Structure 1
């Protein structure tokens, strides 16, 4: 391929990119890269081609092209080529490459090999399933994976599942005075075996509701009172929300509570909770 032809194809690739024709753009870049893999602008071409496949959720291609992009990018300078490779390698289960990608971006990794299961602190993820959107709290296991720590109300989603999220924040929440980012979900990586149940409870005071929540979380289960859910418009959801004041159960009385636990265990814990005066429950059923 002559360089004049390559320049023409790169121009077409950029035009396809601007039109969000991701597959065509990536294919055009790959045509040029097959002949010019190591020209001065090649690192950008590899990166754009890999990113296009990320947008397409073609993780095998994003991984393949992302390795080439990272190999031509400066290490330790937060180059996004390493971040996108870290995501793709994580989804592909190549932990050695994922670890190296995070190190290349500039994030120290815990010692060891294999799957990364460390404590990277809390964050929030905006679940997206068939157009429904729900922001949940996660405990981050690595720079792109987290375990869901709420009981989602969204049908089909569960407490304890592990999700992969993007790296660009799309909102902000507070946690004990600390600001944390909201990220968009890319993939449900590992499902949870805990079913979601729904129950009606009556409690004399907000502290009674909190006692129920605490009893479930103490056993690594989940509980989410209806009063802790907050409906937000899309604009507010992508802004800042003060979780410290909005997350606590706001009232006693009657309300629905979403639970994540085996049904027999949920019944036992509910009975223990209802042994105190002013607490009753009923109508336990599977939510999903």
Structure 2
């Protein structure tokens, strides 16, 4: 291939990219890279080709091309080639490459080998289940994975599942003056076995409901008032939303739970039995 031909193909690739024709753009880049893998601008071509396959959710190709892009990127300077490779390697559970990619980006990881199980703070993820979207809180385990800490209302989604999310925030939530990013889900990484339940509880005072939430949390289960769910349009959801800290209140109310049904009944009985007056429950239902 002559350089003049390569230049024309690259121009076609740029045009396809602008039109969001990811497959065509990636194919054109690869045609050129097969002949000119190490030209001065080739690092950009490798990156765009890998990114196109990321958009297509073709993770094997995103990984293959991402390795080449990262090999041509400066280490420790936040180059996005490493981030995209970290995502693709994590999806393939290639932990050695994922760890090297995050380090190459400039992040500090927990010492060790294998799967990354760290404490990267809290964030939100916009779950996407066949077009149904729901923003939930997660505990971040690594730069791209997090454990869901809410009881989702979307069918088929569960408390405790591990989701893999994109690296570019798409919105933010502000709570008590602290700002948390909202990431878009890329895929469900590990499902949770905890079913979703709903129950009606009567709480004599706000502290009673907080005690129930704490009791379930102490057993690695979930519990939260159903009234905590709010609905936003896509424009608002992808912007900055100021959220009030969770506040419990007294009275009869529906509560979402994440626990095996028998254990949930036992914990509800224990909670109700801790006070002679002011606590009761009824109508436990399995929702999914």
TM-score between the two structures when normalised by the length of structure 2: 0.96
Is 1:142 the equivalent of 2:142? Answer: yes
Summarize the alignment of residues 120-199 of structure 1 with structure 2, pairs less than 5 Å apart. Answer: 120-175=120-175, 177-199=177-199
- Aligned-partner SS, 1:179: strand
Q: Is the 8 A contact 2:127 2:134 kept in 1?
A: yes
Q: Determine the C-alpha separation between the residues in 1 that align with 2:51 and 2:205.
A: 51
| Corresponding residue for residue 83 of structure 1 | 83
1:10–1:29 CA contact under 8 A, matched in 2: yes
- What is the CA-CA distance between 1:14 and the residue it aligns to? 1.1
2 CA distance for matches of 1:77 and 1:123? 23
What is the aligned length?
286
Q: Helix, strand or coil: the match of 2:179? A: strand
SS in 1 for 2:134: strand
Q: Secondary structure at the match of 1:285?
A: strand
Shift of 1:130: 1.1
Residue by residue over 1:220-262, the C-alpha shift from the partner in whole angstroms, topping out at 9 and shown as x without a partner, is: 100121122122222221222333x24333x322222111111
Partner SS, residue 97 of structure 1: helix
TM superposition shift of 1:194: 0.9
1:57 aligns with 2:57: yes
Q: Are 2:252 and 1:248 aligned?
A: no
Distance 1:78 1:279 in 2: 53
Deviations 1:114-161 (A, max 9, x none): 111111111111111111111111111111111111111111001111
Taking the aligned partners of 2:118 and 2:187, their CA distance within structure 1 comes to: 19
1:95 aligned onto 2:95: yes
Unaligned runs of 5+ in 2: none
Report SS of the residue matched to 1:242.
strand
* Residue matched to 2:284: 284
Question: What do residues 52-99 of structure 1 show as CA deviations (whole Å, max 9, x unaligned)?
Answer: 111111111100000000001111110000000000000111111111
Deviations 1:165-214 (A, max 9, x none): 11111111235542211111111000011111111222233322222111
Match of 1:265 in 2: 263
RMSD of equivalent CA atoms:
1.3
In the alignment, is the contact (CA less than 8 A) between 1:151 and 1:259 conserved in 2?
yes
CA distance in 2, matches of 1:55, 1:2: 30
Corresponding residue number in structure 1 for 2:28: 28
CA distance in 2, matches of 1:286, 1:157: 13
1:51–1:84 Cα contact (<8 Å) kept: yes
CA distance in 2, matches of 1:59, 1:130: 19
TM-score with structure 1 setting the length: 0.96
2:106: which partner in 1? 106
Residue in structure 1 matched with residue 211 of structure 2 by the alignment: 211
Residue 263 (structure 1) shift: 0.7
